Structure 1
Amino acid sequence: MQIHPLIATSEELASLVDRLKTQPFIAVDTEFMRENTYWPELCLIQVASTEEAAAIDPLADIDLKPLLDLLVNNEDVLKVFHAGGQDLEIVHNLTGKTPYPLFDTQIAAMALGHGEQIGYSNLIESLLGHSLDKGARFTDWSRRPLDKRQIDYAIADVTHLATVFPKMVEKLRRNGRGAWLDEEMERLADPSSFAFEPEDAWKRLKLPSRNPAVLGRLKAVAAWRETEARSKNLPRGRIVKDDTLSEIVLHPPKTQDDLGKIRGLSAGWRANDIGARLMATIAASKPLEADELPDREPRRPGLTKDGVLISDLLKLLLKIRSKEIGVAARLIARSDDLEALAAGVRKDLNILKGWRFDQFGKDALDLVEGRLGFGVENGKLKMSRIAEAPAD
């Protein structure tokens, strides 16, 4: 595989992209910094095919459009990532779209028995038999110039990815599990996962109360903080920490001067513009309407005491089945689906559809409907069929 020097000109990048367009897939990775900013600062992009690999410097005077177009508009080339959530977020921030079609090797690893969230180094060691150099992982990628070791370290991520991807695809093809991943990859590529309005920011916070007036202030103040953080490109916590935000909405200051008495805010908030904007936000907030109030247990059906026990049995069954077929339990079913099944829900559950039904849902349904039981034989837990499912 040809390894190119760091690409820092638009001409070099355009030439590279022209060649990558002809490939069936490319491996992609990014290096970024976000400790001191709201938006992740893209510092390096690495790409590789089976023939060549390169690192691209987005901090240089370079036009990234050809590469971004390849990622989000060219459906002939598959884009391969490992644990690509943050990489996809960066691309979405730049384009409003996500790479498509895509393949995430961490998700694929779940279908191949490597556990739920295997790290990249462990995956490479497992599939290629050698460990990665981790010496440059704490690099400040925003500093220039980057030395050869840093660039080699970054490029190695995609060269190894381009090597393991075909091996993983072949294993998935042999065991017939490739189609199992389609839904997961589509969900990962959904642009709505990376775009949310400031008005929804409160839903990501721990609720300090269920009082509609408090929640109304939480919604307003969380949206205000999100807007301030975005406009200043600062982490949310640099504007107001979560604990301080909860204190403000629980015990709202009556005057701007009172802001100086709140732990976590500086005395300057008594008279500065940001303090004035916060006070205006609090004053304009309104109690949440009844239809906006969150469920006490979001997305969870009401479980009786027996339902909780049934849910626990389903989790045990899931553990047994995932071990038997060598697939991470998280890929088969999520707790919400198990709790819904235990509560009597039978519609719109992923575990009652497709391969999940064949591999787990059928037994899960038999368990909750009394046709399957657990027993102990010779000190080992086993499942036993009590009755057959009724014919359709």
Structure 2
Amino acid sequence: MLIHPLITDSDSLEALCERLSRSPFVAVDTEFMRENTYWPDLCLFQIANGEEAAAIDPKAENIDLTPLLNLLVNNEHVLKVVHAGGQDIEIIFNLTGGTPHPLFDTQIAAMALGLGEQVGYSNLVESLLGRTLDKGARFTDWARRPLDRRQIDYAIGDVTHLAELFPKMLERLRRTGRGAWLDQEMERISDPANYVNDPAQAWKKVKIQSRKAEVLGRLKALAAWRELEARSKNLPRGRIMKDETMADVAVHPPTSQEGLGQVRGLSAAWKSNDIGARMMEALNNADPLPASEMPARDERGPGLGREGALVADLLKLLLKVRARESNVAPRLVARADELEQLAAGRREGLGILEGWRFEEFGRDALDLVEGRLAFAIRGGKLVMTRTEPETIP
């Protein structure tokens, strides 16, 4: 494979992208830093197609990334291959407002091939290519310039191996007939809606015990305020206010800005500074959370109840059994919330009752819930036994 020197100029990048645009696929990876910022600090792009590979320096003076971003987001003829690509996709979304498409994630493909729930890249390379990766440069400072040879070699190595992995995994998927299993998952992770950070929804990521509408309303207001403060200052959310401090303020709100000086986790200066004033304004303007937004009291699922919770546990056991028999990662077949909704009586709009998921698991899951299938122990082994004929779709 031809390995190019580090690309730092627009002309070389445009020529590379023109050649890659004629490829059936490109492997893509990024290096970034985000420990001290709200937005990921993009430090390096890597790309390969099996014949050539390159690292692109987005911090190079006057470099225009447009040809690369057009290739990744706007060229529907080239498949983009990533591994656990959520953060890479987020970076591309932040730059363009779009996501790479069509997309193939080797970590998700590994689930369909029975290689694990969240198999790491190093393990995948070792398993399928028989090579051990040198991860020594993984935690270096990618923002510092100049990049040394070891950093560049490490970075390009990720996409050259990825370009080798993809054809091997694709062939295995074709042999097992499981390629179509991945279509829905690949469309899901390439959906731009997944990468929009809506301040109004930020509160849902904060753990809090209270289910009082007044408390959750304050939490929603504080989380939205924190999100906007972090963005405007380009600082991590936790640098503005930690989750546990925010939850505590939502439960025990101070009556005035002066009281912020007594809140554990906040600087005493907040009792008189501008950021404290803005936080108090958000807090004082908070409305109780509407009933339509209130989380279900039983986190195991809407209307699940005690008996339903036991049924959901049986479904999870069935999923483990069927996934083991099919040699597929359980998480690819069904999500826990789907099992809980099925146990609670829902039948419409569940992915496990459609397509290949129904054939592999959903039919048996429905039969178990409706009493046509049961667990039994025979010869010391857990088996399934039918009490009535199976469900016919």
TM-score class, shorter-chain normalisation, is: over 0.9
- TM-score if structure 2 supplies the norm length? 0.97
For 2:252 and 2:339, locate their aligned partners in 1 and report how far apart those are by CA, in whole Å: 39
Do residues 248 (structure 1) and 249 (structure 2) align? yes
Q: Residue 30 of structure 1 corresponds to which residue in structure 2?
A: 30
| Residue identity opposite 1:78 in structure 2 | L
- Supply the distance in 2 between the matched residues of 1:344 and 1:259 (Cα, whole angstroms): 47
Which residue is equivalent to 1:194? 195
Amino acid in the other structure paired with 1:152: D
How do 1:57-76 and structure 2 match up within 5 A?
A: 57-61=57-61, 62-76=63-77
Does structure 2 retain, via aligned residues, the 8 Å contact 1:212–1:293?
yes
What CA distance in whole angstroms lies between the structure 2 residues aligned with 1:113 and 1:152?
A: 30
Aligned to 2:326: 325
- Check the 8 A contact 1:9/1:60 in 2, yes or no: yes
The structural deviation recorded for 1:299 is 7.8
Rounded to whole Å, the distance in 2 between the matches of 1:53 and 1:160 is: 10
**Other-structure match for 1:346:** 347
1:67 alignment partner AA: L
* Aligned mates of 1:386, 1:291 — CA distance in 2: 41
- Quick one: distance in 2 between partners of 1:240 and 1:309? 39
Give the AA of the match of 1:274. Answer: I
Structure 1's 301 and 23: CA in aligned 2 closer, same or farther, altered over 3 A?
same
> Any stretches of 5+ residues in structure 1 without a counterpart?
none
- Equivalent residue, structure 2, for 1:221: 222
SS at match of 2:164: helix
Identity of matched residues, %: 66
Deviation at 1:113, TM superposition (A): 0.5
Corresponding residue for residue 363 of structure 2 = 362
Q: What is the CA–CA distance in structure 1 between the aligned matches of 2:238 and 2:223, rounded to whole Å? A: 11
- In structure 1, how many angstroms separate the alpha carbons of the residues matched to 2:275 and 2:305? 48
**3-state secondary structure, aligned to 2:182:** helix
Q: Which residue of 2 aligns with 1:18?
A: 18
Please, which runs of 5 or more residues in structure 2 have no aligned partner? none
Residue 111 of structure 1 corresponds to: 112
- Give 1:132 deviation, angstroms: 0.6
Q: CA deviation at 1:90?
A: 0.4
2:3 maps to 3
SS at match of 2:250: helix
Contact 1:202–1:223 (CA<8 Å) still a contact in 2? Answer: yes
Task: Report if aligned partners of 1:44, 1:58 keep a CA contact under 8 Å in 2.
Answer: yes
**What is the aligned residue count?**
392
Q: d(CA) in 2 for partners of 1:116 and 1:376?
A: 27
**Which amino acid counterpart does residue 33 of structure 1 have in structure 2?**
M
> Where does 1:115-134 land on structure 2 (aligned, <5 Å)?
115-134=116-135
Aligned-residue offset at 1:208: 4.2
Matches within 5 A, 1:31-110: 31-61=31-61, 62-110=63-111
1:260-295 CA-to-partner distances (Å, cap 9, x unmatched) read 111111122122111111121122222222223222
Query: 297-306 vs 16-25, which deviates more?
Result: 297-306
Q: Is the 8 A contact 1:79 1:102 kept in 2?
A: yes
Other-structure match for 1:178:
179
SS at match of 2:28: strand
Match for 1:320: what amino acid? V
Q: 1:366 to 1:260 in 2, by over 3 A?
A: same
Q: Report the residue type matching 1:160 in the other structure.
A: H
State the 1:346 CA deviation: 1.6
Q: Over aligned residues, Cα RMSD in angstroms?
A: 1.4
Cα offset, 1:307, TM superposition: 2.1
